[in-house]
Amino acid sequence: MYTVRKVTDDLYYVGGDDRRLALFENIFPIPEGVSYNSYLLMDEKTVLVDAVDWAITREYMLNVDRVLDGRDLDYLIVNHMEPDHCSSIELMLQKYPNLKIISSEKAILFMRQFGYHVDDRYIEVKEGDTMSFGKHTLAFVEAPMVHWPEVLMTYDTTNGVLFSADAFGSFIANNGRLFADEVDWDRDYLDEARRYYTNIVGKYGTFVQKALEKAGGLDIKYICPLHGLVWRDDFGYILDKYTHWATYEPEEDGVLIVYASMYGNTEFAAQALAAKLCEAGITNISLRDVSNTHVSVLIAEAFKYSNIVLASVTYNLGVYPLMQNFIEDMKALNVQNRAVSIIDNGSWAPQAGEKMEKYLDEEMKLMDVLPEQLNMVSSLKAMKEPDMDAIVEGIQDSIKKRKEEKEKSKSQNKSKK
């Protein structure tokens, strides 16, 4: 049995799913699995586009063999040399002794570093190069830092297929599906696609913007990523998501409240704030305990919402370690352009609020720390209600201001046209 599906004339999906891996990159939980995508073009020459992780190499080789149906494999295009796509290269080189690898200069360097010393079998390509394999002529587009520096995207000028490497990928196994329009993608895949993008590629927004500009100049009919489902329509929808993520613009006006609480007192304050926000009409809220929410989920939601509230207990005269880790991860992934409200707590020397504010101001880009704060001593008291109300008002004002700025820039763009 095989897991092959036809993408379009001459092009077959030959990748597969991994539902056994607990942690992608040994960091990110993937409870719904992940796919490693590979595509086989059957032209006068046979051309495999990217390979797969070691975990599914056996079924992958069966798929390739099945589609080749007795023909030899002539070329393997390596768009991305990360081992989740390239562990199987060594076996493919052994099985197909005439196979040549087409890739960028950097990827070939990485292949040597990973131990593939087959110098007579490498064909180096760069931006703008094309190769014809019969009916199909493929053009190579450099896309550095989406997600590693060696990355290429490959565009089939004959049928408009863009092999987009990690871009437009997602966690979640394909489970027999191939196309994004075969599922309710917005309902079932968006959160995991956001978590994938923001944590894996989020740091490199400016590079992603450049790649999106290049892609904008192509007549694209299919987007074939290395993980997740293939896009063949509704490109505006997914491009809009990517544009938000790459430019660090929030997708939604709403509030991510992340709290660090040891005995429930800071948690109670976070809940009280959520209730007050809802009373004030701001109901688009995600309330998360930093101690039992994986940081990759927090990062994805920091990219999603316009406002963040950090509520932390003081620990060892500093910020609670898991909260500190979240803030540092936001910095590492370039989270910016958000309004942040602060709540802190401490029983004898509260320090968390001051330290979080200093970090946001001095270490991060364009984080607007709102002046309204709530400082608690051990537990939330009724006398602090005005401070809580002030935080709600500060959030309301910042959302209003963001909306007005958006409207203004929209009307300026319109008048420029």
Tell me the closest approach of the beta carbon of residue 137 to ligand FEO, in angstroms. Answer: 26
Tell me the closest approach of the beta carbon of residue 108 to ligand FEO, in angstroms. Answer: 17
Query: Are 299 and 191 a contacting pair, CB within 8 Å?
Result: no
Q: In what order do the strands lie in the sheet with 161-163?
A: 130-132, 137-142, 152-156, 161-163, 222-224
CA distances from 387 to 232, 243, 274, 372, 390 (A): 51, 36, 14, 7, 5
Of residues 86 and 257, the one with the C-beta less far from ligand FEO: 86
Of residues 85 and 194, the one with the C-beta less far from ligand FEO: 85
Of residues 166 and 301, the one with the C-beta less far from ligand FEO: 166
Structure tokens at 404: 């007005």
Tell me the closest approach of the beta carbon of residue 400 to ligand FEO, in angstroms. Answer: 39
Judged by phi (left if over 0) then psi (alpha if -120 to 50, else beta), residue 148 lies in beta
Of residues 12 and 196, the one with the C-beta less far from ligand FEO: 196
DSSP per-residue letters across 294-339: -HHHHHHHHHHEEEEEEEEEEETTEE-HHHHHHHHHHHHTT--SEE
Of residues 80 and 338, the one with the C-beta less far from ligand FEO: 80
Tell me the closest approach of the beta carbon of residue 28 to ligand FEO, in angstroms. Answer: 11
Tell me the closest approach of the beta carbon of residue 80 to ligand FEO, in angstroms. Answer: 6
**What is the C-alpha to C-alpha distance for residues 51 and 43, in angstroms, rounded to an integer?**
18
Pick from 78, 92, 61: which is nearest to 166 by CA? 78
Tell me the closest approach of the beta carbon of residue 229 to ligand FEO, in angstroms. Answer: 15
* 3-state secondary structure labels for all residues of 222-254: EEECCCCCEECCCHHHHHHHHHHHHHCCCCEEE
Of residues 80 and 194, the one with the C-beta less far from ligand FEO: 80
Which residues are near ligand FEO by CB under 6 A? 80, 82, 84-85, 147-148, 166, 226-227
Tell me the closest approach of the beta carbon of residue 196 to ligand FEO, in angstroms. Answer: 9
Tell me the closest approach of the beta carbon of residue 144 to ligand FEO, in angstroms. Answer: 12
Of residues 48 and 269, the one with the C-beta less far from ligand FEO: 48
Of residues 110 and 259, the one with the C-beta less far from ligand FEO: 110
CA distances from 65 to 86, 225, 311, 405 (A): 18, 22, 56, 56
**What is the C-alpha to C-alpha distance for residues 54 and 87, in angstroms, rounded to an integer?**
5
Pick from 306, 354, 307, 356: which is nearest to 331 by CA? 356
Residue nearest to ligand FEO (CB): 82
